[in-house]
């Protein structure tokens, strides 16, 4: 059920984001930046498509199995497209998107509950530094580990399996990057937030599945803070107040 709930809440957040003008505006900014960076990174990666495929599997000479090689080639193409979106997401996060994500989360919280739970007041510069510092353990490091595992998997006999597992792990960490916005804003400890991820792993897996679908992943990444905030308010805050 948590898996289905994760899929549903990401879609639910996308619908709310498209219907709310300010969320739509912020989401479109993220969308355009991610698209631009995705096109650039995809172009660079596709230049080495054949080299990457040859590392996985050299094209067989037998006509009986060459069709399987073409299937692997297409699968690799889709994975590269997904990988390009993930890399673009990380770059946009480091540059400025962390502020947009937090703004989208705050707006969603206010629209649903009528208010935002107060956090410690600080200057804009200090707050930006705080958000960026949160982003390192929350998103950049886990996703980079998943990408490194994916690349290392290309050099092992189980490379197709490890590549898929790494992509799924990246989806989970990207989902956590969004569900962690509220607890990080409320200064909860990193250990408590990590326990939250482990406890709700099924939800994060479902939420992150959208991020693995080429083209759609860019759209869902742009509005993911909305769905993640809805889930946290309705289920985590709801359990506490209930």
Give residue-wise pLDDT tens across range 140-155: 666 667 667 766 666 6
Task: Flag whether the pTM goes above 0.75.
Answer: no
Choice between 175 and 96, residue whose per-residue pLDDT is larger = 175
Handedness of CA 223, 225, 231, 233 (dihedral sign): negative
Q: Where are the domains of the chain?
A: 2-241
Q: Which residues contact 211 (CB under 8 A, 6 or more apart)?
A: 82, 85, 86, 170, 171, 174, 175, 217, 220, 221, 224
The alpha carbon of residue 137 and the mean position of all alpha carbons in its chain are separated, in whole angstroms, by 14
Choice between 185 and 207, residue whose per-residue pLDDT is larger = 207
Task: Enter the tokens of residue 5.
Answer: 């709930």
Give the Å distances, CA to CA, from 190 to 134, 165, 180: 9, 25, 10
Cα 85 to Cα 215: distance, rounded to the nearest angstrom: 8
Residue 20 has pLDDT above 90, yes or no: yes
């Amino acid at each position: 059920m948590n898996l289905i709930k994760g899929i549903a809440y990401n879609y639910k957040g996308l619908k709310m984001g498209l219907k709310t003008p300010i969320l739509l505006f912020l989401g479109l900014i993220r969308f355009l930046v991610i698209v631009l960076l995705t096109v650039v990174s995809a172009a660079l990666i596709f230049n080495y498509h054949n080299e990457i495929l040859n590392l996985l599997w050299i094209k067989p000479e037998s006509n009986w199995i060459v069709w399987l090689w073409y299937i692997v080639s297409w699968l690799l193409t889709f994975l590269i497209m997904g990988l390009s979106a993930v890399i673009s997401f990380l770059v946009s996060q480091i540059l400025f998107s962390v502020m947009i994500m937090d703004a989208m989360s705050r707006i969603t919280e206010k629209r649903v509950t009528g208010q935002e739970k107060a956090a410690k007041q600080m200057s804009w510069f200090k707050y930006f530094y705080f958000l960026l510092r949160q982003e390192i353990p929350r998103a950049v490091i886990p996703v980079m580990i998943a990408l490194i595992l994916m690349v290392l998997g290309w050099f092992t006999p189980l490379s197709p399996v490890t590549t898929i597992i790494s992509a799924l792990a990246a989806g989970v960490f990207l989902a956590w990057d969004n569900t962690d916005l509220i607890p990080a804003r409320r200064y909860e400890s990193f250990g408590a937030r990590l326990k939250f991820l482990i406890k709700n792993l099924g939800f994060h897996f479902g939420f992150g599945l959208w991020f693995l679908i080429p083209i759609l992943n860019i759209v869902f990444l742009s509005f993911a803070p909305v769905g993640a905030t809805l889930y946290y308010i309705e289920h985590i805050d709801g359990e506490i107040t209930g």
